[in-house]
Structure 1
């Protein structure tokens, strides 16, 4: 059986985001990509850990997402960490821009996936940074869930 190089169901998550931030609202945005970027995404070679979103002249951009250059790409290959424009409705951008001006809120990419039409979408979340004691609570809850699952399996 031949293994496919490009996967049909891409679902890349930023698991660190839910630990570092308290996620309030989630939005799904399209991304403006170059030709070889979608091929690298379909291979699953993406890192969302250091990504963040910002506004510039009424448009939203994401920075810090690392999409590894495509192996078979030529001199037209993309820059791995370039900033990419996000596609949202103008009303959503205005709403998010207003919320970001509040103290302590930020936009974090939480998931990158390919929808049923074959387009790459980025799920972004409005988040508030957790304090150290909140992180300890998250660890405690995660350990309790793990322990309950062990008991149920026995």
Structure 2
């Protein structure tokens, strides 16, 4: 069963890519007491994710902050080193926080995974976006397989009051 609007984000530890290397971050610290725009991509450096998904959030981060978002966060089933390199290549520093869900535990806890084994990718997080307010899901947009639209930065920006 997947997470839905009104649900709390599960308590767990993810890994944040920092200038000093990987650092643990709890979902409580990341999402508690603040408003966060979270989006998930199937994989760093993949075509749609690199050409449209992450760049949209980089370009719209300031506009989201202007509408009350404290932080824009990207999560993917990749390791922190890959997430850091991808963030750097996309000029995301200071705009989008890159979070690694290396084993896919967070994506599984949300109930938002898919099996990409046929493409050599294993279990991955689905493409989605959400607005999280004080640790609870306020908006949730899950893409159908192969689609890119409702998880875009532009769509999420339109959902912000």
TM-score (norm 1): 0.28
TM-score (norm 2): 0.27
